Structure 1
Amino acid sequence: MRRGGVEGEFCWFSIFFEKEKTSTPNTSSFQFHSQALSMLTSTMLLWATERRNYVTPIRSVSWCFRHGSQFGFIGKERLAKAQLIRLSKQSALMMVPTCLEIFGAGRFWDEFHANVLSADQGQFFSRLGCLMLRQCRMEVDQLCDMLCKSPSLTMVELVDLMFLDEEVVGRLAALFDNLSIIGLTVSSMETKLLDVLLPAVMLNLEILNFVGNEPFRMSDLVSMRTGLILPCVQLLSLCSFHCDVTPVNEFFFSTLMKYFPNLTTLFVDWSVLTPAVCFDQQAQEALQGIGWLHEQPRMVVTCLLIYSPDEETKTAVKLIDQYLTDQLKLRHRLVEFSYQDQSPANFSLILIGKLTDGRAERLTEVIAGSRITQPDLRHWRYVLQNVPGFWKPDLTMQFGGLNEDEVQVCAGAAIKQQHAAALAETCLHTVVNSNNVTT
């Protein structure tokens, strides 16, 4: 594997040229350029993370298909340090994915599928364990073919997909029947679609994640056909969830337990409980409901994530913390952290329950330690089962098309955006410190 970027390209051409001069000194200029062009079209530029070390074998690989301007992320998570590399198509196909994300319009996946993948795709999908489809369009036949060739698939994310209808979901459900899907992420979805999708996974599903631009509605959950429960779900994540049928109180949590009777781990974004971060009657009723939840024998930990960027919200968090201690007598921990390096804390994490349990410790590691405010299935698998390979793969590669000029320009823009964001956060930190000194 050779390092890419402009410098890497010059190095590559130099090596090729020296080889040509040595082996075929009489080769015409036309032949040389033809062979160089042929070799160039058999390679591609990829945005790849730097490996933690180069002595251990590569066991886990994440592939991401997204626009070059969005390089540097998978899901909502920032990637570690990465750079453009040049890789032959043949070598790229040897990097069999354990996790595959398609984000955005989907044209980059289409381009990769048509121009890079060979007719025999079984090997490429043979170790795929996690499939993340976010805000993308995809040919249904192509998706079903991928599922058929992915015997190891255990986690699927279907987030903000416009092509999901009864026919499509019916085809997916039939394929899920032949897989052991233990993790599922869905965004807002009609009840009639849930009635088809959930029975296909109910006997294996351990992780259910509600997320998306449009919140999942409680009314769609309670309107599911009578008797449909998910008895194996242990971890429930409410990142984007709208309780439109009942106040968030004890009845809300007892309703959740009706559908997820073996729940042990609950993640809730505070916006699900109350529209604003404040300590009012609605907040107290929600906290009382959590108190009831932790009277249930199977419950291990509840995690509340609160966006608290200013003094008003930080004061509300302190009152919530005090209420949990003085009134509800719940064992809990408050952790404040910043989403950016060298910036004031702007998030608060409250863990309630059995704090020495490994799940509570891993929740703290993922959310506060790694500053991931919207975890996906890769993180939840780690939290629940201590399986780190999907979250921390040995290698992550991002593909933004075969047009190398476009990829380089977009990748450069992505780097500038990251630097600008970091600079803005640093400036904000300086201003806040100056204000604190002044006051």
Structure 2
Amino acid sequence: MSFVSRRLAAFSTAIILLGVSGSGASAQRKYDPGATDTEIKIGNIMPYSGPASAYGVIGRTEAAFFRKVNAEGGINGRKINFISYDDAYSPPKAVEQARKLVESDGVLLIFGSLGTPSNTAIQKYMNTKKVPQLFISTGATKWNDPQNFPWTMGWQPNYQNEARIYAKYILKEKPNARIAVLYQDDDYGKDYLRGLMDGLGDSAASKIVVKDAYEVAEPTIDSHIVKMKSLGADVFVDITTPKFAAQAIRKAAEIGWRPLHLLNIVSSSIGAVIKPAGLENAQNIISVAYLMDPLDPQWKDDPGMKAFDEFLAKDFPGGDRADSFVVTGYNMAQTLVQVLKQCGDNLTRENVMKQAAGLKDFRTANLLPGIKINTSQIDFAPIKQVRLRRFKGDRWELFGPLLSAEIGG
């Protein structure tokens, strides 16, 4: 072969190799339905109407946060297309909306959907379809079950252990307590109840004078509150959603019942629950927290709180600073953005779950000091610690150390 022929052959080989490496680079981009070079399609289901509509602001906050992300260039150059539907806190409607998001809209994943009953209704469908049901907005213990439901992951501390914390507090502060429990008659309420019973242990039978269940279709729970007072209860464990929590606080004050009142975190929003119930009626209520309260002056100069206030001013001016559900949506959305950033150009559903199960010491803007998000292939419980707090004046006051919200913690 002549010198010229050898040069031509070498040049041809170089061109071929360049073509192979170029196609290899593009091949590194992996997509499932809902992801392209320019877009990531995210589904969401919220109770914008119905008995739990107070939670709808979580979805509106997330939508505002994703608009902010898009305005800043998106995630790895891709814009988020956030599709959020109303299920009115109805499990059959949630199933309908999940099918629509997966089969018609073709989302990459469903994120942050609210409610234990709704998420229970779609869990098997999501796992059969192998579509991530990610960072759902409910603390039911069942979401941390990667062996049986590898496509489902919660976000907030679990309900059973929150209730165990209340049980320990009761045993310490009121050893002779006469406890009344009001709970929603579904998986959400029963999860809390189970944790409370476990935490009280052998004393549960003697200390609990009434366990009263209510249905979400009930217009009011006033009669339950009257019954609890009549039975001489001096501790009230309040496992209700916002509408009913506000009613319970108001009615207890109206009839002069002043028990030690322990209120589950999902109904502890000042803007959505405490203010409607009357600040004066909510004094000394006990709850827990894992996120900073924007009304607590100790966070005034915190960089994360300043960022939150800037978000409200610029991106979500309609958001109520006193509504803790706004803070919740803001921090949940940040967690999803972190996972999508970690996915890089591998936007498959399998990789989304892999990255969600690989968060290490991640902190969103408003987690309480000392709380970090950690997950693994065998640990689908991102947030595991809380602090106790007491309502005083017009705000919550934290007290005590960080408490474990892990099973057995």
* TM-score (structure 1 length as normaliser): 0.31
* TM-score (structure 2 length as normaliser): 0.33
Structure having the larger proportion of residues in helix: 2
